[in-house]
């Protein structure tokens, strides 16, 4: 799971962070709140591809944790029952890695997180 540490912002909430992501990626991806275990929001490219993101606050640090995620329940079902995780992972890994790099770069360079 990629983790990116930012300047310590104890006042930063997951909702406020999601709005920063939403504003930045407005023309490219859908960004929306989710009720996933250990994740606060999703950056969705398509039903096949997205990233689930969490803002983590510790006593002396603030950071983001995120991982590849299939936003579509149908895609998740097909992956588990028909296509298989390994096959889909190998097929989509290059695109996921490119999106991961894009998200990391945004977090590291966003003035709101400095």
User: pLDDT tens digits, residue range 49-97?
Assistant: 899 999 999 999 999 999 988 776 656 555 556 556 666 666 667 788 8
Closest among 15, 110, 10 to 57, alpha carbons compared: 10
How long, in residues, is the chain? Answer: 114
Name the pTM for this structure.
0.84
CA atoms within 13 A on the CB side of 3: 7
| Cβ count within 10 A of residue 98 | 10
Domain ranges of the chain: 3-113
């Amino acid at each position: 799971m990629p983790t990116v540490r930012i300047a310590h912002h104890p006042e930063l909430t997951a909702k406020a962070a999601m709005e920063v992501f939403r504003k930045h990626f407005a023309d490219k991806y859908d960004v929306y709140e989710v009720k996933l275990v250990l994740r606060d929001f999703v950056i969705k490219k398509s039903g096949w591809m997205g990233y689930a993101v969490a803002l983590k606050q510790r006593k002396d640090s603030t950071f983001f944790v995120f991982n590849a995620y299939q936003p579509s329940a149908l895609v998740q079902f097909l992956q588990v029952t028909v296509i298989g995780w390994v096959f889909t992972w190998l097929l989509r890994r290059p695109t996921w890695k490119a999106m991961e790099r894009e998200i990391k770069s945004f977090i590291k360079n966003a003035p709101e997180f400095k």
